Structure 1
Amino acid sequence: MTASLFIEQLTFSGGASIALEPDSIVVIVGPNNEGKSATLREILGRSGAVSSEKSRHVVTDMKIGHRGTAEAFLERLAPYRLPGGKHYALTALQDANIFSKIKPSSIGGSSLLSPDPKKIRESILTAFWEQQPGFESLSGTFFHLLDLATRFKATEPADVFNLTAEIPTSPIQNMCVDPVLADRLSRYFQRAFGQALIVNRTAGYTLPLHCGDVPPLEPGEDRVSPSYARKLQALPLLQNQGDGMRSFAGCLLEVSAADKHVVMIDEPEAFLHPPQARFLGTLLAREKPVGRQLIIATHSGDLLRGLLDANPSALQIIRLTREGNVNHACALDSERIRTLWDDPILRFSNTLDSLFHEQVVLCEADGDCRFYAAILDAIQPEDADTRRPDVMFTSTGGKQKIPEIAAALASIGVPTRAILDFDILNDRSPLKEAIEALGGRWDAFEARWKRVKAGVEQFRPELETAHVRKEIEKLLEQVSTPTFPLEVARSIKGVLKRASPWDAAKDLGLDTVPKGQLRQVAEALLADLKQLGLFVVESGEIESFDQTVGGHGNAWLAEVLRKDLRQDSHLENARRFVRALFSQPPRALS
């Protein structure tokens, strides 16, 4: 087994302690300014790489674990081994003064200190690994934070080194000794930017990276020929390219070719277009070496989708939010992540972007999302100083998916509401599951729901069964063409719609409930559902908000969105509905 240090547990200022797996990819998400980047900096501070006293606002405690044998640990320290093979240049251990915690008997009773303070004996390192006196002292050496400046630096030329006597210590040096790695990274870069990534081994005292088309070898020419070297020298240097190219390459270089136990990346999606961010997410998951921990702070749903595309064995998502100076953390378990991602409807929707917003509203269809988002925008104060709500409307592709998505978002602390057409009251499922997903108890609603459902079903259809049959037969008698006419199909659908009380309820909403006590029960039921976060359209469905516009679905929506959404009198009920949607703080469940 490869020896490695890893973060075993993080405790946040809100009190949540989250266990991390040794060989995992941990993705930290959440709205803006909630502590994602600060988490990475404070991890590095606690590891000893930088001062840990100045920044302990987000992460209040961190436990570091280790696994593997002492022999494997020494093998990982090979880049720090000094000539002779019995001493190592690890001043971090000397500076931390941990030797007092090591039992002298474990190293033969000899002095713990080396005559040369820059050298640490191999026997001391073995005892250190086996006795575990304080791994925080080493984590500063083996934890690495890739902020933007670090990623840019990784693309700068590396020092030339002796391939036969020295161990490579930089990613570009590793590309020199591993042509398979170099070719793989070049192909990735080619796919992302249309250019190859080439190490120039003939540039003198440094090893620069070039990008462009790989120069062809002419007859009698090889890769160390002066003529070929001149061709390489003429190619653009990566270090002089745009920020997106440099950041992309820096992330890949440091994750795949640097010998670090824990690599942290702050906003790897910076300067990248959405397809490139998604591709980078996939590559980071694929290229992370076995036995290492990768921790990513991101604002990008595209990067997260790329990570999920790679299907890593251990993926953890932590969502951060902040109240004043307190940071709350919730973890979304991998099983629920996979359940959401395996659903094809959700896979190609924007549902995952919910993790990056302060609150989310689930709608049955994309058109619903556009309508309610437009109304919310219209009712916002025109005062530029008023902060607009950070809310995302997302489609679930129908009622049936709402409970599953609501439960997943609620479990990671995303304040969630759902808007449903009135016919959600038609069936026990998915109404029951939606109530329970948002923290409600079905037994608190069931009796009232049954009464309302029965009342709606007393609503007499316009046509009896015999009349429905007769109307449809009339329509079918008109058909003589091999292809069934679209207008006849629509007419038949209209007949069936008038025959069902619940189809009428989609048009009329509460007006299909008998007046009197039963109407009061229905109104109280809908009010309690609102308190839970389930907003039922009392007038029926989205088209009922403006019945002066004909059509259905996108045709109706296109016409309505041309109106003055702020002042049109026919949309007052829609504005009132959306105001009520945000009149109370959303419920955040854990």
Structure 2
Amino acid sequence: MIVILRRKVVGDESVVIKTIKLKFGKAPNLPSAEILTTPVTVFVGPNNSGKSKILSEIHYRCTSGQLNSMDVILTEIEFDSFTLDIAQEKISKITLKPDYNEALMPDNIIVGKGGNRQQVNENQLLSALQDTNSQINLFCRWYLAFNTLILDGRNRINLVNQQSAGDLQQPPHTSFQVLFRDDDKRKKVRRIIYDAFGLHLVVDPTNLGQLRLRLSSRPPATDIEERGIHEDALKFHSDAILVEQASDGVKAFTGIVTEIIAGDPAVLLIDEPEAFLHPSLAFNLGKEIALTSSGTEKRIFVSTHSPNFVMGCIQSGAPVNIVRLTYRNGTPTARILSNQDILRLMRNPLLRSTGVLSGLFYEFVIVTESDADRAFYQEINERLLRYKPELGIINCLFINAQNKQTVKTIIKPLRELGIPAVGLVDIDILKDGGQVWTGFLESSFIPALEHQSLATLRSHIEQKLKESGKNMKRNGGVEILSHSDQEAANNLFDKLAEYGLFVVRKGELESWLPNLGATGHGPTWLIDIFEKMGEDPESSSYLKPSSGDVWSFLGEIKKWFDNPTRKGIPL
């Protein structure tokens, strides 16, 4: 299947990357999806879903002009072509002066950037820029390779190491050289760094022939104080901190921002930009990356595990694509997430407070009614994963709503993003008819034609439970019904389970593991049950999974998660 990324032309310029085609779509056997590209495309998803791999495949294509036979995600990149005037302008930006005694073939020029240089035929390069897709090898090797940068955990820290000052009589070819000469870009980077750390970024030329970045407690009084080599400049820079001696977080943040603004790559690929950063800095970095690239022809592709970074990108207001990749049981998927859907997750106070955006980075999500429910089921799952993995759910996020009515508020937007999210509620969900019950069904995408019949069945079962004179939650759940009525209730719950809605048929949370004799309700019961379950796995009193009870209940949830044709996820 294919995912295509496309963006609009900015001003009179064309973009470099027009579309990216993947080998799969949002589900097997579905038509290929097409996505309008934006200045920033963020790849999210669980571990081992291909987020880093797609960056390396894009990088190889852009720098070599070839497709790698080992590619498992990328099918093709379609590049935009440029008008004659824009093509000539782009060539002029990467043209270098020949070295002393360097021989040039007729009609050839030297092109390069960042210390890399190559002799090419100017007319052929001009032709390749005007018709990129028929001359991809030349376009990528002679132009795009100099304008593509990939940053990972290994090289982003080194971005702030000192760089050559270069020849002031030639165009700048490193990010520090650009910062040193371009007042606007230097002030832009300085503003971003000050907002992040409360210190002023300055470029230090006092190590003759080299440029260094420093953090000063005050801005330079004049340009010459920063850019000069006289006594006042020496004193100013000696009082400032070398960025390369700062923390990894400061170095990573400063290096990425500097490279985006001053290095000015046409294609920038960043793997886990949040590494070394506090969550608030990850948010700021996401916001600044999106804002800086907005309105430009720059293409930034990011792989991240950070909901804070994603929030920063989205809340910047700049156009951003979020692509969720998954890979399970040999089946890859790629789903393009709506910015509006993600904004809704962040703007809703309930959703924001539960950390629901973290669901983007897990394979599965279970939403419970309360925090006590969440803690208990999560502990049960951890013991299953350790001692009975065939029933345990790997890579699953457990979050809690405020009550059963708000479970639906959380699972619906998650499912709209393609995330398998289970709603887990007590049996008294049967008490809620009307719009509450309908909303419960809608949140799990049960077909509307079935709502009326399910509502009627719910009403009849609730009436039978009332007629029993017993408390449905605390006196046995469906077991207080007659055999035939139990069958009807279980049929209803089986139907809900097909769509990822699981009801505690025994009644409520506190009905699990009755042999342990835990007492109380809610948090009180949770403390007691955890004490009785034991803490030390080496202790004979430590409770390990067995058959039946809550262990099998989670096993049924696992079956729904593992089913590639599960119901309840909109396509």
**TM bracket, shorter-chain basis:** 0.7 to 0.9
Tell me the secondary structure at the aligned position of residue 562 of structure 1: helix
Question: Is structure 2 residue 52 aligned with structure 1 residue 37?
Answer: yes
RMSD (CA atoms): 3.9
Match of 1:525 in 2: 492
Alpha carbons 1:23, 1:290 under 8 Å: kept: no
Match of 1:71 in 2: 85
Query: What per-residue deviation string (whole Å, max 9, x for no partner) do you get for residues 540-561 of structure 1?
Result: 3324447865554434433433
Question: Is structure 2 residue 542 aligned with structure 1 residue 541?
Answer: no
Tell me the secondary structure at the aligned position of residue 148 of structure 1: coil
5+ unaligned residues in a row in structure 1: which ranges? 93-115, 463-500
1:116-515 alignment to 2 at 5 Å?
118-121=120-123, 125=126, 128-129=129-130, 133-135=134-136, 137-138=139-140, 139-161=144-166, 165-214=169-218, 224=228, 225-233=230-238, 235-291=240-296, 292-312=298-318, 314-323=319-328, 327-382=332-387, 389-403=394-408, 405-425=410-430, 426-444=432-450, 446-457=452-463, 459-460=465-466, 504-508=471-475, 510-511=477-478, 514-515=481-482
Alpha carbons 1:456, 1:514 under 8 Å: kept: no
The CA distance in 2 between the partners of 1:301 and 1:358, in whole Å, is: 15
The CA distance in 2 between the partners of 1:18 and 1:293, in whole Å, is: 20
5+ unaligned residues in a row in structure 2: which ranges? 1-10, 99-106, 535-541
Deviation at 1:156, TM superposition (A): 2.0
Match of 1:57 in 2: 72
Gap change, CA 1:453 and 1:325, over 3 Å in 2 = closer
Question: Is structure 2 residue 8 aligned with structure 1 residue 6?
Answer: no
Match of 1:557 in 2: 526
Alpha carbons 1:448, 1:521 under 8 Å: kept: no
Tell me the secondary structure at the aligned position of residue 533 of structure 2: coil
The CA distance in 1 between the partners of 2:428 and 2:509, in whole Å, is: 12
Gap change, CA 1:222 and 1:373, over 3 Å in 2 = closer
Larger Rg: 1
Gap change, CA 1:279 and 1:569, over 3 Å in 2 = closer
Tell me the secondary structure at the aligned position of residue 118 of structure 1: strand
Tell me the secondary structure at the aligned position of residue 54 of structure 2: helix
Identity of aligned residues (%): 24
Deviation at 1:337, TM superposition (A): 1.9
Question: Is structure 2 residue 553 aligned with structure 1 residue 580?
Answer: no
Deviation at 1:373, TM superposition (A): 0.6
The CA distance in 1 between the partners of 2:551 and 2:420, in whole Å, is: 21
Structure 2: which amino acid aligns with 1:59?
Answer: L
Q: Higher mean Cα deviation, 573-582 or 262-271? A: 573-582
Deviation at 1:459, TM superposition (A): 4.9
The CA distance in 1 between the partners of 2:128 and 2:562, in whole Å, is: 54
Deviation at 1:244, TM superposition (A): 2.3
- Alignment size in residue pairs: 522
Gap change, CA 1:76 and 1:118, over 3 Å in 2 = closer
Deviation at 1:585, TM superposition (A): 3.9
Alpha carbons 2:55, 2:269 under 8 Å: kept: yes
Q: Give me the TM-score of the superposition, normalised by structure 2.
A: 0.79
The CA distance in 2 between the partners of 1:326 and 1:582, in whole Å, is: 17
Deviation at 1:299, TM superposition (A): 1.6
Deviation at 1:506, TM superposition (A): 4.3
Tell me the secondary structure at the aligned position of residue 60 of structure 2: helix
Structure 1: which amino acid aligns with 2:507?
Answer: G
Structure 2: which amino acid aligns with 1:355?
Answer: L
Match of 2:539 in 1: none
Gap change, CA 1:119 and 1:537, over 3 Å in 2 = same
The CA distance in 2 between the partners of 1:364 and 1:386, in whole Å, is: 22
Q: Higher mean Cα deviation, 410-419 or 261-270? A: 410-419
Deviation at 1:387, TM superposition (A): 8.8
Match of 2:63 in 1: 48
